Structure 1
Amino acid sequence: MEKISGLGHLFMTVFLYNFSVFMVAPAITDVTMSAVCPGEDQCSIAIYLTGIQQAIMGLGTLVMMPLIGNLSDIYGRKSMLTVPMFLTIIPLAILAYSRERNYFYAYYVLKVVTSMVCEGSVHCLSLAYIADNTPETRRASVFGILSGISSAAFVCGNLSTRFLSTPCTFQVSASVVAIATVYMRVLLPESVTDEIRRNAAKEEDQGSITVSLLDEDKNSRKNVRVFKTMPSVGDTVSLLRSSLTFSQAAIVAFFNSLGDVGLHAALLYYLKAKFHFSKDQFADLMVYLGISGTISQMVIMPILAPAIAEEKLLSISLFFSCTHMLLYSIAWAPWVPYASAVISLLAVFVQPCLRSIASKQVGPDEQGKAQGCISGLSSFAHVLSPLVYSPLTALFLSPNAPFHFPGFSIACAGFAVMIALVQSIMIRPVHPISSLKVSNSICAAEP
């Protein structure tokens, strides 16, 4: 009962947090355009600013995600959840106060800095929390429910934006994320047991360095242990080599994120330039997307997951994800993006399936490390994606495009997801090894 109660409080925390984050998404494009290029429907500077922001955030999270995952194995999910949730409040509070140019740039800088820790952390730690409290056979379904909760928050957040003014949108957002932080700290029980914490700390202890320092007061030497809390490239490589299935899932996560980031970076600017969409149209589209995702993950996935292997469900979802991106890229009328949202009904299973596959390949005291590794590789895609898609988006939305194809960058994002689809087809079901530690399995494999 305690585990069920903990998951309930986690779902409420995730809902409130995502509600506050998603409700500003439709408004931020207009705020950016108004601050940087007032009165214009197409602005290359705004596109490049968004791309730079995503690249820097991706570079930061590339380092921070594995670190936060490792630390959560030692200090607990609840303790680590506090950090990104609190930091999220700061940039939102700035735009809640004013959206003038100077305040926008202050928000921009702080958003970049705080997102190095916040971006994806809550989702990553929530996945590890679920893995702590859910048996392997039910993980895919519960991961799907978590994504469904996020989609429901996406719908409610964007729907509320439809009826709020821009100043009120940021004020409500900052307030709700503060409430979510307090709610989590008061009601969410810790999921990392003392045994898991000791095992994770012992692993860090074995990988630490002991140095000898001179104690001047006692004129003697003492040993001081420097813990290796920062995961190295070698740690990530060892984790990827521990299981072929895990490494394949990581490759799928990278290319899927590469496409997703490219789509989200370009879509709103593309729709604004081609069909003159504004905050209300953005909110309507996001509501349709969110409703599709909620129905899929809360209703359809719990039915399909036990009946269809996760690997097959992953491939099916990637196929529909690729299809709906390509349909966006050739949109010929304002209703086409809404039709594409319907196709996304079966395109939202990617993350739950990926995370479930990865969680079954590591031990119970390495769930944070595994989810952090997948999130870190996805963050690497966040670094590369703006370098590719931002120039493409700006070029093909400008009058100087080499040929007329405004959605060319979105089509390229679809091709990246197609690569992930091909890789996912190669994943074969294997017996889960989560009853063993990755580090133990590596040592056993060594002569």
Structure 2
Amino acid sequence: MRNAAMVFVFIVVLLDILAFGLIIPVLPHLIEQFVGGDTATAARWVGVFGMVFAAVQFACAPIQGALSDRFGRRPVILLSCLGLGLDFILMAVAQSLPLLFIGRLISGATAASYSIANAYIADVVPPERRARAYGLLGSAFGLGFIVGPVAGGLLGDIDLRLPFWVAAGLALGNFGYGLLVLPESLPPERRSARVDWRHANPLGALALLRRYPQVLGLATVVLLGALAHYVFPSVFVLFADHAYGWGIREVGYVLAAVGVCTAIVQAGLIGRIVAAIGERRALLLGQAAGLGGFALYSIAPSGAWFLAGIPVMAFWGLANPSLQALATRRLGPDVQGRLQGAFMSLASLAGIVAPVVFSQVFAASIDGSLGFEFPGAPFALSMLIVGLALWVSERASRPR
């Protein structure tokens, strides 16, 4: 049952990430098209879109986590897939920036499959094997980013809207697949007796973390990691075009390279690394790799130097699975969904702030308002954030 369940949830997450990966290379350029082709203005709008997406997710993720604790993981995952499929159709037909904006609002409300998948793993995988399981789930991101952005780049070269139609097909196909084969992981006797509405809101979810000080430090690391990671969806596509002249197709290939390296680390290496050095040291090694990767990205004088940072940055992927394994060990099965909802709320809270900050930093670094150009400034900011995350990780992961 455990192996079969892992296969099912892996495929569900993989198809979800494929759908999102398809639109990554084209959404900023579609926004750029709506604002008349001005890159700095488009960068600011991309930041606003990211902020709103995260704000809605911040509000909705705890509700989804609480519902999954009460009614099971399966129905919440299925509703997420269905909602995303319908939303991608809306964005495919949007003929104005406001309608595209509404589409992102709906995406934020329905994008729950990954956080609930984390709770699913906590249900079916014993604690000593969770780091590897979370690594395998993370490799779904890698595989999704191998195929998704390349396909999105190739399809976007044909028509900017075609990737949205394909993404809709994948999400709706994912719903059908899950409806037929995804088993429930949380039996009725292990569910919450009622929906915990007191914590089924973003502030209540964060208050939940205060009740469990054993995970509060690790939750801070989740927040910092999410802040740093938002540099990629916030500015990468426009940064790559401005700094290196990479178009939609080239960006798709680069994101595919990121996916290959991530899959190698998370599917092939993390189990061996955790077995050799333990979850705590793997967490710290991952944070150190993220620090080095962002440093290289920020000063890369050419596309080749940027590409050289990808294998280094891939080892940042050690951090989150190791952190998840440490955190889920410290709480019981009846609150795993709410824990993941709280973690998702933290990531969404970061997303409310980070896209605007990174996009404004990038826009200021290229529009001449600073008196000089430094397109890598957003990555330098992420480097500082990961440095802080490394320090907090060292303290929060100490044995209790």
TM range (shorter): over 0.9
Instruction: Give the secondary-structure state (helix, strand or coil) at the position aligned to 2:303.
Output: coil
Output the CA distance in 2 between the equivalents of 1:171 and 1:264: 20
Other-structure match for 1:242? 212
Output the CA distance in 2 between the equivalents of 1:17 and 1:8: 14
Other-structure match for 2:245? 276
Output the CA distance in 2 between the equivalents of 1:387 and 1:97: 26
Other-structure match for 1:417? 386
- Out of 136, 153, 161, which is 2:152 matched to? 161
Other-structure match for 2:3? 4
Label 1:346 to 1:365 Cα distance change in 2 as closer, same or farther (>3 A).
same
How many Å apart are 1:235 and its aligned residue? 5.6
Return the letter of the residue paired with 2:187: T
Label 1:86 to 1:123 Cα distance change in 2 as closer, same or farther (>3 A).
same
The answer to whether the 8 A contact 1:154-1:287 is kept is yes
State which drifts further: 304-313 or 398-407. 398-407
Other-structure match for 2:357? 388
RMSD between aligned alpha carbons?
Answer: 2.0
Output the CA distance in 2 between the equivalents of 1:232 and 1:254: 14
Other-structure match for 1:110? 103
Q: For structure 2, list consecutive stretches of 5 or more residues without a partner in the other structure.
A: none
The answer to whether the 8 A contact 1:62-1:376 is kept is yes
TM-score (norm 1): 0.84
Output the CA distance in 2 between the equivalents of 1:57 and 1:29: 14
Match runs of 1:42-441 below 5 Å: 43-97=39-93, 102-111=95-104, 113-119=105-111, 121-164=112-155, 165-166=158-159, 167-197=161-191, 200-201=192-193, 204=196, 228=198, 230-231=200-201, 233=203, 236-244=206-214, 246-430=215-399
State which drifts further: 173-182 or 402-411. 402-411
Return the letter of the residue paired with 1:115: S
Label 1:68 to 1:294 Cα distance change in 2 as closer, same or farther (>3 A).
same
The answer to whether the 8 A contact 1:393-1:409 is kept is yes
Output the CA distance in 1 between the equivalents of 2:289 and 2:199: 39
Output the CA distance in 2 between the equivalents of 1:235 and 1:345: 30
Label 1:266 to 1:162 Cα distance change in 2 as closer, same or farther (>3 A).
closer
Return the letter of the residue paired with 1:186: L
Q: For structure 1, list consecutive stretches of 5 or more residues without a partner in the other structure.
A: 205-226, 432-447
Q: Deviations over 1:271-306 (max 9, x none)?
A: 211222110110011011000000111100111122
Output the CA distance in 2 between the equivalents of 1:169 and 1:386: 23
Other-structure match for 2:22? 23
Q: Deviations over 1:332-370 (max 9, x none)?
A: 112122111121231112221222222111111111011
Instruction: Give the secondary-structure state (helix, strand or coil) at the position aligned to 2:396.
Output: coil
Output the CA distance in 2 between the equivalents of 1:161 and 1:346: 25
Output the CA distance in 1 between the equivalents of 2:129 and 2:170: 31
Output the CA distance in 2 between the equivalents of 1:271 and 1:232: 34
Output the CA distance in 2 between the equivalents of 1:249 and 1:51: 27
Output the CA distance in 2 between the equivalents of 1:364 and 1:263: 33
Output the CA distance in 2 between the equivalents of 1:202 and 1:80: 16
Output the CA distance in 1 between the equivalents of 2:222 and 2:106: 23
The answer to whether the 8 A contact 1:285-1:337 is kept is no
How many Å apart are 1:232 and its aligned residue? 6.9
TM-score (norm 2): 0.93
Return the letter of the residue paired with 1:117: A
**Identical counterparts, % of pairs:** 22
Label 1:291 to 1:57 Cα distance change in 2 as closer, same or farther (>3 A).
same
Return the letter of the residue paired with 1:109: I
Output the CA distance in 1 between the equivalents of 2:13 and 2:204: 32
Output the CA distance in 1 between the equivalents of 2:120 and 2:185: 6
Label 1:270 to 1:232 Cα distance change in 2 as closer, same or farther (>3 A).
closer
Instruction: Give the secondary-structure state (helix, strand or coil) at the position aligned to 1:299.
Output: helix
Q: Deviations over 1:86-138 (max 9, x none)?
A: 2212332134446xxx3454122221x2133234x111000100110000000
Label 1:280 to 1:306 Cα distance change in 2 as closer, same or farther (>3 A).
same
Instruction: Give the secondary-structure state (helix, strand or coil) at the position aligned to 2:331.
Output: coil
Output the CA distance in 1 between the equivalents of 2:90 and 2:195: 42
How many Å apart are 1:149 and its aligned residue? 1.7
Label 1:59 to 1:168 Cα distance change in 2 as closer, same or farther (>3 A).
closer
Instruction: Give the secondary-structure state (helix, strand or coil) at the position aligned to 1:26.
Output: coil
Structure of larger gyration radius = 1
Output the CA distance in 2 between the equivalents of 1:232 and 1:395: 32
